[in-house]
Amino acid sequence: MKIGVLGAGQLGRMLAQAGARLGMQFRFLSPPGETCVQGLGELLQGDLLDDALLDRFAADLDAVTIEWENVPTAAIERLARRVPVRPGVASLQCGQDRIHEKQFFRECGLQVQAFAPVDAPRDFEAALQAVPLPAMLKTRRMGYDGKGQAKVLTRASLADAFASLGSVPCILEAFVPFDSEISIVAVRGLDASGREDMRLWSACRNEHREGILDCTVAPASGIPDAAIQRAQAGVRTVLSRLRHEGVLAVEFFLCNGELIANEMAPRVHNSGHWTIEGARTSQFENHLRAVARMPLGDTAATGVSVMRNLIGVVPAPSAALPASVHLHLYGKQPRARRKLGHLTSVAQQESLAMSDADAAFAALHAQPASARG
């Protein structure tokens, strides 16, 4: 079976690594630039709106999927005339625009923080009426890892914040003084007769630094069961309504007992990387199973996992690692704030998983192979 992947970053790399064990072959299509998929399949690069390139990409593929949600929907629509594309356009459109995402969360019964569109300066006044300060101004599209965001503390600073983000269409949303952040990573697939199967991995507790995921603990500890159950129920609704096929993740804030949906990714997610070693079936394998309409695997956790991202620095490969720790390097050039790899520690107790992850992280950063980018 040959799978086409739109995008060729680290998520594509880990998809192909999981797919090799399912006997799958891969062809990647990405915009020009560095990729993480060397040696893992064919690679085509160019303009994703180039029809001839899309047709060359689609030839002899069994299915197409994405590892990057900002693929132009016109490209998906063209590909979908030739080959099944999973997930489909509905999931992508929802995940590409923060306003649509929040409206959709509400339709799914999830609570969201106060928000308003700021497409142009004429919207400033109405947005400031609707959203209490402090607030976050974010670009509606293309933002990730804290990029395309600015905190707005005073009414007067909204204009500067808008200009600093390039005066593109934005969303103003209330700043949430959260107690914790969690995510739910889930997969939905159809069997041969079209029956739906949905499976969820254990909830993840996430810590971000400067808007970038730093650490995930799963199963999430210290979070009320009722909040996790509400989050899980909401994600099931999201998956069903989108008729999503594949993995999808939703990130939530927990604030004074309230559960607030922040954003979703219609793809495999950084907070699900722990599932490679810490669950019976990883998010990458189950995503491919759903894309290929194969039976889904068991999502049960095998212990407690702690995942730490390796950001900005390529760690020394020779550093001693505890046996519980698994290191993934993506083969990217180092640059400040760039995700270059991650490590996952799995143990039967959170304290052990955490201390092994901390020890490995410290060892890996004691003698970096390359200087801080």
| Residues of the shown chain interacting with ligand AMP in the complex, contacts defined by CB under 6 A | 113, 136, 143, 146, 173, 175-176, 181, 208, 211, 251, 262-263
Q: How many Å apart are CA 323 and CA 333, to the nearest integer?
A: 27
User: Which residue in the block uniquely carries the two structure tokens 């971000």?
Assistant: 208
Measured from the CB of residue 113, what is the shortest distance to ligand AMP in angstroms? 6
Q: How many Å apart are CA 43 and CA 37, to the nearest integer?
A: 8
The amino acid sitting at 140 is R
Q: How many Å apart are CA 71 and CA 31, to the nearest integer?
A: 10
* Ordered DSSP codes for 140-200: SSS--TTTTEEEE-SGGGHHHHHHHTTS--EEEEE----SEEEEEEEEEEE-TT--EEEEE
- State whether the Cα torsion 336-270-108-240 is positive or negative: positive
Which is closer to ligand AMP, CB of 173 or CB of 285? 173
The answer to whether 108 and 248 have CB atoms below 8 angstroms apart is: no
Which is closer to ligand AMP, CB of 306 or CB of 346? 306
Which is closer to ligand AMP, CB of 72 or CB of 146? 146
Measured from the CB of residue 145, what is the shortest distance to ligand AMP in angstroms? 7
**According to DSSP H, which parts of 217-282 are helical?**
225-241, 275-278
Which is closer to ligand AMP, CB of 299 or CB of 309? 309
The answer to whether 344 and 274 have CB atoms below 8 angstroms apart is: yes
Which is closer to ligand AMP, CB of 124 or CB of 175? 175
Measured from the CB of residue 254, what is the shortest distance to ligand AMP in angstroms? 12
Measured from the CB of residue 215, what is the shortest distance to ligand AMP in angstroms? 12
Which is closer to ligand AMP, CB of 136 or CB of 248? 136
Q: How many Å apart are CA 73 and CA 29, to the nearest integer?
A: 14
Measured from the CB of residue 146, what is the shortest distance to ligand AMP in angstroms? 5
Q: What residues form DSSP beta bridges with 47?
A: none
Measured from the CB of residue 106, what is the shortest distance to ligand AMP in angstroms? 16
